A and B are shown apart, each in its own frame.
Chain A
């Protein structure tokens, strides 16, 4: 199999280039894309990428594999390889620090904007704020996000306005707190989302749903936020 890897060191190179490697796939077992990268790094220790847990929990190794965003550690080679070739690029739209490593500052800045923590002004109870089973169920499909940025970096609206559009990942989390029965800042949160960019740049093309390695649905969450905004006005 031919593996083509995006190589770029901004301090040294004028332009990025693609470097090709030959890789022998084992016949007896399935490999993940991350396994391939780990092996390639033995051949060429200068390839830079992020990784940590290697089981789809930490969200470090989000990258673009044959044109699709995903986590290298939980994407099987057979599911993504095409014509015996695999092309690995960094997540689109974010500044490249080196090779497959991107600068996530802007992504985190958008996450920060939605105040990603529980706000409750009432006197704290002695032990904990109790939720009913139904109230807790509303957070399913929201809290599981690992902030890998696969969704936001597959979104054209986020490419065009990464400084103003919060992006699918941040909006999924915005809804996670809007939907939380223990949070009392609902109207203050909504007040911050009515401008033409934060939420309304979403054109519902659902690239985020397609990209999410955790099978979450940011588009649905954005729809719910829109409904809350309309009902609240």
Chain B
């Protein structure tokens, strides 16, 4: 078959990014709806109730999962934006790598900081 066809590439990264982007979006969506419902049902939440909710096992897990999803989702999105607007070789390539480094570092800080906030009060 290949003898008829032009040279082929076999990367599946676009497909994987596409699926991961949507899965993480679903996780973030579920978390937002879930929090909205919790707050709507418990309008008079005091600090004790708040704390006991956010230190419960499933809340810790769900919050951590969501923070991780935001980091991954943002990375794929920002990587795409970068490769759209900063194109080419030479200086542009250096600029693109610097951009990716800054975004990656910022997301890593966000991730570690958020996780330490979520787990720090135990």
Q: Which residues from chain A sit less than 8 Å from chain B, CB to CB?
A: 112-113, 115, 117, 119, 121, 156-157, 160-161, 184-185, 188-189, 191-201, 226, 229-230, 233
Contact = CB atoms under 8 A, between A and B. Distances in A.
Given A194-B15, A195-B9, A115 B4 contact: yes
B13 A195 contact: yes
B93 interface: no
Contacts, number: 68
Interface in B13-41: 13-15, 17-19
B15 A119 contact: no
Interface of B: 1-2, 4-6, 8-15, 17-19, 80, 83-85, 87
A154 to B, nearest CB: 16
A112 B8 CA distance: 12
Contact of A121 (B1, B17, B85): B1
Contacts of B84: 156-157, 160-161, 201
Contact of A160 (B2, B10, B85): B85
Most central of A156, A157, A200, A229 by chain B CB within 10 Å: A200
Given A161-B83, A199-B14, A192 B4 contact: no
Contacts of A121: 1
B18 A200 contact: yes
A191 B10 contact: yes
Given A192-B9, A230-B18, 11 more contacts: A119-B1, A160-B84, A160-B87, A184-B1, A185-B4, A194-B13, A196-B13, A198-B9, A200-B15, A201-B84, A229-B15
Contacts of A113: 6
Contacts of A192: 5, 8-10
B-side binding surface: helix, strand, loop or mixed?
Answer: helix
A191 B6 CA distance: 12
B5 A115 contact: yes
A161 to B, nearest CB: 7
Contacts of A189: 5
Given A112-B6, A119-B1, A194 B87 contact: no
Contacts of B85: 160
Nearest to A163: B87
Contacts of B15: 194, 200, 229-230, 233
Nearest to A162: B87
B1 A185 contact: yes
Contacts of B8: 188, 191-192
* Cβ-closest 9 pairs across A and B: A200-B14, A196-B14, A195-B11, A194-B12, A194-B15, A160-B84, A192-B8, A195-B14, A115-B5
Contacts of A233: 12, 15
A114 B111 CA distance: 40
B4 A119 contact: yes
B82 to A, nearest CB: 11
Contact of B6 (A115, A160, A194): A115
